[in-house]
Amino acid sequence: MHTASAEIIENTIPEYAIRTRKLNLWYGTFQALFDVDLNIRNGMITSLIGPSGCGKSTFLRSVNRINERLGYVRINGTIDVLDKNIYDPDVELVQVRKKIGMVFQRPNPLPSSIRENILFGHKLHAGGGKTSKADQDEIVEASLRQVLLWDNVKDHLNKKATDLSLEEQQKLCIARLLPVKPSVLLMDEPCSALDPKGTAAVEELIWELRGEYTILIVTHNMAQARRASEECIFMLMGKVVEHQLTQDLFVTPDKKETADYIEGRYG
Amino acid sequence: MFAESSLNVRNKRVQNLFRILFMMMTILLIIPVIIILGTLIAKGGSIISFDFLFTDPTNGMTAGGIFPALLGTIWIVAVALLASVPLGIAAAIYLNEYAGDNWFTRIIQLAIINLAGVPSIVHALFGVGAFVIFFGFGTSILAASLTLAIMTLPVVIVSTRESLRAVPQAFREACWNMGATRWQTIRRVVLPNAVSGILTGIILEVSRTTGETAPIMFTGAAFFLPFLPQSVFDQTMALSLHLFVVATQVPGVPDNLPFGVALVLIAMVLLMNSISIAFRMYLRGKKKW
């Protein structure tokens, strides 16, 4: 009985985690996205590449609706996340943010302990309900293990998160999203503040997380897109030029613009 | 090859000149402070004693202590804080965390700046009209404190806002992106990290309020009262006004009495400021960004 219902849930997971249809976006009068139609596969790592100003970050930021905080952003078209248009009027923003986690360029841990950082989201969404110390410990351990940070920090969970190295901070920022059980993780150049060793470590972590989470990662670093993603989207001037398996996009791109970009003729 | 040229020599001489000039101006700044403190201690120090602080004035205020005035000042400052702190912090939170930058907030901003620029005697007259007469509080601690509260409100708002602004935006971003509401963000992240600055601002406000004379002399502070205030609707004596009175209004006051009162007043202010600085250092040591 139990396994049967689990199977049904398994089967209802859509093939695509994020689908956009005719997505247009304006900052005031400036149009940043033009008719973006994308199908981003569930449980995969998809990277977004393109020169500065091509709209890749704008796209990422409209997937969890943080763009609209700017006030002068206008959008039409649809963005379905797990088959629900997140711009529908009956959508609660807090639920969107729970399901779709975001990781920023600069690690931004809160100025409290490692433990508090992990539990922050959990406490936020737990309502008035108290979680027992044991449950909290379990959440902290599970989250930190998942981001490969547990062994480094298990002996000083009460240390300030801001005292960690940047690499550890970025891992912590990923870890603190996990207790509220997101489906999609958006990453906006998550390694650009890190040194090569930190970059490698965070890339390894992102690779570990695939399957369980749908990961959309914006990067300036083509080598990174190539190493750390399964599908790759190339954008230019607010339009999607090409969306392919990463290996194909870098070896046999369909479009001339893509070929020029990955060979470094502009960007 | 790297020998000094005459131009180098001249530039260095000019540079030294300015360094010494600015240093002397800085030293000039602290001279008045030293003179004031020195004079007060030299002339008023002799009168300071336990009895001076804790007994009533006698012989038409030419002898005895300052207890009613000391207590009155504490009353007035405390009630003023109770009124201005919650109001000021709430306004600052609204302006910094909720309101956007639009014509409405800009007008409020302008009003706050202007409120800060209103002379204290004008505040005093406003206090008489509004609190003493219109609201019918009479000349009382309540009227005096509310007048002071209005006067110091801009300080609280501005200093609180500065402290809120000093909390990095990245912390707020982090919270919002985990689905925290504005209030959850303020309550759990912004306020805990701004509290040292907010408290410092409040303590500085206390030290300012302690010394104010004009706003309270028409609204609640009395020349002389033979009894202590029983509630906020009573009048009271106050240190600042008492200093004015014994220094200029009463004949036959011994020389060291006004200096003693001034010394107590300034000691209160310095004590407050030191607490504020110590507190800020303590809280700063605890936080790290």
Radius of gyration of chain B (CA): 24
- Summarised one tens digit per residue, pLDDT across range A125-157 is 877 667 788 888 999 999 999 888 898 888 889
Task: Examine residue B44 and state whether it is found in any structural domain, yes or no.
Answer: no
Task: Examine residue B29 and state whether it is found in any structural domain, yes or no.
Answer: no
Task: Examine residue B25 and state whether it is found in any structural domain, yes or no.
Answer: no
Inter-chain residue contact B175 with A120, CB threshold 8 Å: yes
Task: Measure the CA–CA gap between B214 and B118, rounded to whole angstroms.
Answer: 13
Q: What percent of chain B has pLDDT over 70?
A: 99
Q: Which amino acid is at B28?
A: L
Does residue A7 have a pLDDT over 60? no
Predicted pLDDT of residue A78: 92
How far CA B11 is from CA of B5, B8, B14, B15, B17, in Å, comes to 10, 5, 5, 6, 10
* Pick from A17, A14, A6, A56: nearest CA to A213: A17
Predicted pLDDT of residue A1: 42
Task: Measure the CA–CA gap between A236 and A75, rounded to whole angstroms.
Answer: 19
Using CA coordinates, name the residue in chain B closest to A173. Answer: B174
Task: Examine residue B34 and state whether it is found in any structural domain, yes or no.
Answer: no
A265 Cα to chain B: minimum distance (Å): 35
Residue A49, classed as helix, strand or coil, is strand
Name every residue whose Cβ is closer than 8 Å to that of residue B224 and which is 6 or more positions away in sequence: B57, B61, B237, B245
Chain B within 8 Å of A193 (Cβ-Cβ)? no
- Summarised one tens digit per residue, pLDDT across range B95-147 is 999 987 888 889 998 998 888 889 999 999 999 999 999 999 988 999 999 99
- Summarised one tens digit per residue, pLDDT across range A222-261 is 888 988 899 999 999 999 999 999 989 988 888 888 988 8
Inter-chain residue contact B177 with A97, CB threshold 8 Å: yes
Task: Examine residue B40 and state whether it is found in any structural domain, yes or no.
Answer: no
* Pick from A224, A228, A176, A183: nearest CA to A206: A228
A260 Cα to chain B: minimum distance (Å): 36
Inter-chain residue contact B174 with A163, CB threshold 8 Å: no
- Summarised one tens digit per residue, pLDDT across range B243-281 is 999 888 888 888 888 999 999 999 988 888 888 888 878
Give the CATH number, domain containing residue B282: 1.10.3720.10
Task: Measure the CA–CA gap between A233 and A218, rounded to whole angstroms.
Answer: 10
* Pick from A138, A133, A212: nearest CA to A179: A138
- Report whether B108 contacts B95 (CB < 8 A): yes
Domains identified in chain B, total number: 1
Task: Examine residue B256 and state whether it is found in any structural domain, yes or no.
Answer: yes
* Pick from A99, A120, A239: nearest CA to A173: A120
Q: Whole-angstrom distance between the N-terminal and C-terminal Cα of chain A?
A: 55
CB pairs under 8 A between A and B: 58
- Report whether A103 contacts A202 (CB < 8 A): no
Sign, CA dihedral A58-A63-A64-A70, equals positive
Residue B44, classed as helix, strand or coil, is helix
Predicted pLDDT of residue B21: 96
Read off φ and ψ for residue A90, nearest 5 degrees.
-90, 10
Q: How confident is the model at residue B287 (pLDDT cuts 50, 70, 90)?
A: low
- Summarised one tens digit per residue, pLDDT across range B189-239 is 999 889 888 888 888 888 888 888 888 988 988 888 877 888 888 888 998
Task: Measure the CA–CA gap between A264 and A254, rounded to whole angstroms.
Answer: 16
Contacts of A183 in chain B (CB under 8 A): none
Predicted pLDDT of residue A11: 54
The neighbouring-strand residues paired with A187 are: A103, A217
Contacts of B171 in chain A (CB under 8 A): 108, 110-111
- Report whether A79 contacts A85 (CB < 8 A): yes
Chain A within 8 Å of B136 (Cβ-Cβ)? no
For residue A45, give the H/E element and its range. Answer: strand A45-49
Task: Examine residue B27 and state whether it is found in any structural domain, yes or no.
Answer: no
- Summarised one tens digit per residue, pLDDT across range B15-60 is 999 999 999 999 999 999 999 999 999 998 888 888 888 888 888 7
Q: Chain B, 158-177: which have a CB under 8 Å from a chain A CB?
A: 170-171, 173-177
Extract long-range pairs of A85-88: CB within 8 Å, 24+ residues apart.
none
Contacts of A97 in chain B (CB under 8 A): 176-179
Q: Is A230 exposed, middle or buried (0-12, 13-18, 19+ CB in 10 A)?
A: middle
Chain centroid to CA A237: how far? 22
CA atoms within 13 A on the CB side of A33: 28
Inter-chain residue contact A108 with B170, CB threshold 8 Å: yes
Chain A within 8 Å of B286 (Cβ-Cβ)? no
By Cβ distance, the residue of B170, B173, B180 closest to A124 is B180
Calculate mean pLDDT across residues A43-70: 89
Q: Chain B, 59-98: which have a CB under 8 Å from a chain A CB?
A: none
A161 Cα to chain B: minimum distance (Å): 10
Q: Name the residue range of residue B113's domain.
A: 64-286
Hey, what are B87's tokens? 């109001």
- Summarised one tens digit per residue, pLDDT across range A187-208 is 999 998 889 889 999 999 999 8
Domains and CATH numbers, chain A: 44-63+97-232+239-262 (3.40.50.300)
CA torsion angle A144 A150 A156 A159 (round to 10): -40
Inter-chain residue contact A104 with B184, CB threshold 8 Å: no
Q: Which of A67, A97, A185 to mutate to test the interface with B (most CBs of B within 10 A)?
A: A97
Contacts of A180 in chain B (CB under 8 A): 178-179
What does the angle CA B197 – CA B198 – CA B203 come to, to the nearest 5 degrees? 95
Task: Examine residue B9 and state whether it is found in any structural domain, yes or no.
Answer: no
Predicted pLDDT of residue A128: 66
Task: Measure the CA–CA gap between B188 and B170, rounded to whole angstroms.
Answer: 14
Chain B within 8 Å of A150 (Cβ-Cβ)? no
Inter-chain residue contact B179 with A124, CB threshold 8 Å: yes
Q: How confident is the model at residue A3 (pLDDT cuts 50, 70, 90)?
A: very low
Hey, what are A212's tokens? 């369980």
Chain B within 8 Å of A182 (Cβ-Cβ)? no
Sign, CA dihedral B76-B82-B85-B90, equals negative
Interface predicted TM-score (ipTM)? 0.79
Predicted pLDDT of residue A6: 47
Query: pTM for the whole thing?
Result: 0.81
Q: Which of B167, B175, B176, B178 to mutate to test the interface with A (most CBs of A within 10 A)?
A: B178
Chain B within 8 Å of A170 (Cβ-Cβ)? no
